[in-house]
Amino acid sequence: MSPEPAAKRASSGGGHAVAFAGDRLSDLPDGLLHAVMSFLPAPQVVRTSVLSRRWRDLWRSTPCISIEERDFEITTGSGAGGDLDERQERWRKFEDFTTNLLLFHNNVASLDKFRLYAGTGRACALRLRDLDRWVRRGIKYRPQVIEIIISLRPRIQFPHMGASSCRLKRLHLNGFYLDNQFAELLCFGCPVLEDLVLRSCDNGFQEIKSSTLKKLVVDSCGNLSGDPVVIVAPHVAYLQLGISYGCYSNGVSIYETASLVKASIHLLCLGEAFNLKHQQRLLGNLCNVPNLQLSGFHAMAMLVEESIKFPIFANLQTLSLEQCLLDKCELDTKLDALGSFVQNAPCLEKLTLQCCMFPVESEKEGQLVRKNIILQRHDQNTFLCPKLKVIEVVYEEDHDHQLVELSWGIGRRLPNANIVLNNYFVD
């Protein structure tokens, strides 16, 4: 049977059903339509304006502005002339679209989120100026959530927010220069801020102080001031620090940690340029945390006899060490350091060691490999940790019987715990 003509279908009951469905969609309240639009990329949100008169201006009042460079398929690389011209044309479209979207958006008083991801295209003075203007314009909408990722050098300075920070609950920044006024903003200008994430920023301040923060992440940031960094956040429940090589060379101090539930401290420099004194101070500041993840710490920072005031970790239940205890000292010394640390954590239930004790070195040509291993039977120091039941050893490869030697040493010093061996590459 041939299909009915379009005019006849439109006048039939099925046509009325389609029209009715369209009317039902248009009759939805603005709040529900905005909620649907918040899941769409910004270009698609603007394109909804052509659907009907009902949708023409909805994009102007959406509570979420989300602009990502990847939506315009801008890629990096030198490329041939045609490819370069195409990228430049896409970048021009991205510039025009972002400028117009932020200029004509009119939800000034109640913006929920402002997201801007940019920084993989060409870098020039005009672009820096544009990025700065976009950031300032987005902040003027007084959003509750700000997420801005910019992968670009030189850094642009994060603007002073003024009254625009009064509603701010979450602030995620990547690739900014942050000055002392930013520190003042955190302390005095953000009365409801709970979530702060700073990644790959150049920090020109030496204090993070906030009475409202519950989550704090400072990862791979430069410390331009050169002074010791102080963190005072009495209500933070989750703390993550990633310390790069040459940064925070004068140390980091954390105060008022009673609310801290989990802390993750990564010495990305594997302890280089962050001396034992600073490592010990960080450990002492975290003695109240129940869940602790450490990366890059040295054995000497954990050895009780090296520090008379080594703290008691009275609440510690889970301890995860990754690429720790890689000092150039004997395995017995490293095991003693681990044992003394664990003994100072009377409530510890699980200990995880990932790629610890033995630095992973590529095999050199002509290197001698041990055909056998002798496990010494003489008495070693035994450490008591009454609640420790599981020690998980995560390894990549067993170089030269090191895994056997490590397991034997752990078992001698912490005899009451089960040792579980897991290969990093096997699920």
Least confident of 7-16, 36-45, 156-165: 7-16
Report the share of the chain in percent with pLDDT over 70.
83
Per-residue pLDDT reduced to its tens digit, 362-386: 454 445 566 666 666 556 778 889 9
DSSP label at residue 187 = I
Average pLDDT for the chain = 83
CA distances from 259 to 252, 277, 331, 346 (A): 19, 25, 36, 20
The tokens describing 223, both together, are 């410390």
Q: What is the pLDDT of residue 4?
A: 44
Q: How many residues are recorded in the chain?
A: 427
SS3 content of the chain, % helix, strand, coil (to 5): 35, 20, 45
Interhelix angle 125-140/81-104, nearest 10 degrees: 30
**pLDDT mean over 176-194:** 95
What gap in Å lies between CA 132 and CA 124, rounded to an integer?
13
| Among 84-93, 103-112, 332-341, the range of highest mean pLDDT | 332-341
Q: What is the pLDDT of residue 72?
A: 83
Q: How many CB atoms lie within 10 A of CB 243?
A: 28
